[in-house]
Amino acid sequence: MRENVEEFDMKKVIDNFERITKDAENVQKETLKRILEENASAEYLQKLGLNGRTDPDSFKSCVPLVTHKDLEPYINRIVDGELSSIFTAKPITSFSLSSGTSQGRQKRVPWNDELFETTVQIYHTSFAFRNRDFPIDSNGMALNFIYSSKMSQTKGSVVAGTATANVFRNPGYKQAMQAIRSPSCSPDAVIFSLDFHQSLYCHLLSGLIFREQVQLISATFAHSILFAFRTFEQIWEELCNDIKQGVLSSRITVPSIRTAMSEILKPDPELANLIHTKCLNMSNDWHGLIPEIFPNVKYVQGIMTGAMEPYLKKLRHYARDVPLVTSDYGASEGWVASNVNPKVPPELAAYVVLPQIAYFEFIPLAQLDGTQGDLKPVGLTEVKIGEEYELVFTNPAGLYRYRLGDVVKIMGFHNSTPELKFIRRSNLILTISIDKNTETDLQLSVDAAAKYLAEEKMEVIDYTSYIDLSKEPGHYVIFLEISGEPTDELLGECCNCLDKSFTDPGYTSSRKVKGIDPLELRVVKKGTFQKILEHFVSLGSSVSQFKTPRCVGPTNTKVLQILCDNVVNNYFSSAYN
């Protein structure tokens, strides 16, 4: 039986958060001390000569800054079955797998029970602030678009799965989450099925069955929510028929799902007709789909910053006046910060670092151009408002001074703890010569071009980019999947707009002197980006973790092949002619 939400002591959680954020410097020292004391016998730390010291100065002088590549020799030993204390005092028996969308392959990162505890702390903190602003009734339910993924074993019998799967399978998960989350309207068999198409169909069907009780719609990433409702546009009539007849569609073939859904699906012609009428009335543009179908929904929640921001416009179209709330900030390697101001629009949201979950350092961005010698990170309380930094952290699962690869901007402080805004991944994604265009620059360029399409009631469904160096000089390639049927003239305008919207001086000067060739727009078939999603799922990634790769690099050969095989037309910019 579910505990009442009221049993969760929100005041206690908020009071504790306020206490530790007021004393962030000391909390950070204690956090580092705890991590180093618990893992003093680990081979990695022993080799670095800490000799039991736990103070920040000794730690920084002995332990180098590292990337995942630096740790791979150690990780490979664990993969091969070596169960000695390599990173932590207790042997690592689980890995989290990254989505693999950025580099074209999944990274293995250590996972342990201590990381699960930090997950609970993040969830509890964010929920306390969120439920204070958007309280869920005790009888409320959630339509959670969450999906499991295949757990595998390395040849050394170490379990590997996505970070979300590692959380879900932890024995303490249900108990830890019971008090802070409205129960999912989907049966467990739907959530834990490995066929995400069938899971998605039944998530939507379950949501319709319990439409009056649904007060929260959520997913790990905004993309999953958008993907779900784009799918709803295509299958709503089939869903209505299931409800009308009380018989599950033949497309659902997984026996456990059919059994679980049969317990909640009963003939309900009245509900089916109501939903059918609403869908017919909206089917021109589906504006306000979410509140029309789920009249008691309080908010829509998921990670909506960074790579998810391009999806906000369409999400707002579906949500109308229902608030969009961005979730917490973290990565496959571990959590960083909570959103304690849920009423702030996602575009303006900042995340407050929890100083007790890891030890944090920040590399000033100015140091990353290689002109200022050795990197000298500053501590959590030493950052400056308005400055940008690359994030470094030390976590309880054996990552020490690990460069996460994220660039964040300090927006302010909550007590003595900084509020971060995620800016981008630190590695530049588009560069040929002296040009340096980031993921943010790419997004702004696509947003500018999308305005031409919006005037004709069309939209960019998704996008990515590629540097074509097949001949000199190289040029930028932008792949767009577009709704509707734009004319060649309109797409030519979009292409020129894309080119002119890259304002980096290195790019504009190179274009003017023909050091970079004209930008190329390649329009791909509808459904192309779904094929990319399915490709990553086939490799073991979870739909819940999927992020469209914004730049297809040389290691993403399969993704590039999918894109090129589905090009329907291409255009070259004449902006600098």
Nearest one of 208, 206, 158 to 186, comparing CA atoms: 206
Report how many domains make up the chain: 2
The H-assigned helical ranges of 3-88 are 10-22, 24-38, 43-47, 56-62, 68-79
| Rounded-to-integer distance, Cα 185 and Cα 351, Å | 29
Query: Residue 53, exposed/middle/buried by CB under 10 A (0-12, 13-18, 19+)?
Result: middle
Domain carrying residue 173: 117-329
Distance of alpha carbon 283 from alpha carbon 234, whole angstroms:
10
Euclidean distance between CA atoms 315 and 304, whole angstroms:
10
> Is the confidence at residue 103, as pLDDT, over 60?
no
The reply to whether 23 falls in a domain is: no
Single out the residue of 453, 455, 423 nearest to residue 439, CA to CA.
423
Q: 321 and 209 in one domain?
A: yes
Say which DSSP state 532 is in. H
Residue 120: enclosing H or E segment and its boundaries? Answer: helix 113-133
Residue 2 — very low, low, confident or very high, per pLDDT cuts 50/70/90?
very low
Instruction: Provide DSSP, 149-214.
Output: ---EE-TT--EEEEHHHHHHTSTTHHHHHHTTSPPBSS-HHHHT-S-HHHHHHHHHHHHHHTTTTE
Instruction: Report d(CA 223, CA 544) in Å as an integer.
Output: 9
Check which CATH number belongs to the domain holding 533 and give it: 3.30.300
Q: Is residue 54 part of a domain?
A: no
All residues at 6 or more sequence positions from 284 whose CB lies less than 8 Å from its CB, including other chains: none
pLDDT at 254 over 70: yes
Q: What is the mean pLDDT of the chain?
A: 90
Residue 408's closest CA among 350, 347, 485? 350
What percent of the chain is predicted at pLDDT more than 90? 69
Residues 121 and 254 in one domain: yes
Residues 308 and 183 in one domain: yes
pLDDT over 60 (residue 371): no
**345 falls within a domain:** no
Select from 329, 347, 370 the last residue of a domain: 329
Whether 269 is covered by a domain: the verdict is yes
In this structure, the answer to whether residues 265 and 132 fall within a common structural domain is: yes
Query: Is 235 among the domain residues?
Result: yes
pLDDT exceeds cutoff 60 at 4: no
Please say if the pLDDT value at position 5 is more than 60: no
Q: Which of 308, 329, 350 is the last residue of a domain?
A: 329
Instruction: Give the pLDDT confidence score for residue 178 in this predicted structure.
Output: 63
If asked whether residues 317 and 452 sit together in one domain, one would say: no
CB atoms within 10 A of CB 78: 23
Residue 423 in domain: no
Q: Is the pLDDT of residue 15 over 60?
A: yes
Q: What is the dihedral of CA 114, 119, 124, 127, to 10 degrees?
A: 180
CB atoms within 10 A of CB 249: 18
Question: Is 440 in the same domain as 324?
Answer: no
With the C-alpha atoms ordered 356, 357, 359, 365, is the resulting torsion angle positive or negative?
negative
pLDDT higher than 60, residue 284: yes
The pLDDT of residue 3 is above 60:
no
pLDDT of residue 100: 58
Most confident region among 135-139, 189-193, 283-287, 291-295 by mean pLDDT: 291-295
- Residue 576 has what pLDDT? 86
Domain identity same for 123 and 239 = yes
128: three-class secondary structure by DSSP:
helix
Do 294 and 158 belong to one domain?
Answer: yes
Whether residue 315 is found in the same domain as residue 455 = no
Task: Map tokens 């026996």 to a residue.
Answer: 255
- Indicate the residue among 290, 312, 329 that finishes a domain: 329
User: 325: closest CA among 196, 184, 132, 463?
Assistant: 132
Q: Is 180 found in the same domain as 316? A: yes
Residue 6: the pLDDT is 44
pLDDT of 390 above 90: yes
- What CA–CA distances, in Å, run from 574 to 170, 222, 431, 503, 511? 56, 35, 20, 16, 11
Mean pLDDT value across residues 272-282: 96
In this structure, of 89-98, 394-403, 431-440, the range with the lowest mean pLDDT score is: 89-98
Mean pLDDT of all residues in 152-167: 72
The mean pLDDT value for 118-122 works out to 88
Within a domain: residue 544?
Answer: yes
Residue 96, domain member (yes or no): no
For the stretch 520-562, pLDDT in tens is 999 999 999 999 998 888 877 777 778 898 999 877 889 999 9
Q: Which of 163-172, 259-268, 390-399, 416-425 has the lowest mean pLDDT?
A: 163-172
DSSP 8-state code for residue 425: E
Is residue 294 predicted with pLDDT exceeding 60?
yes
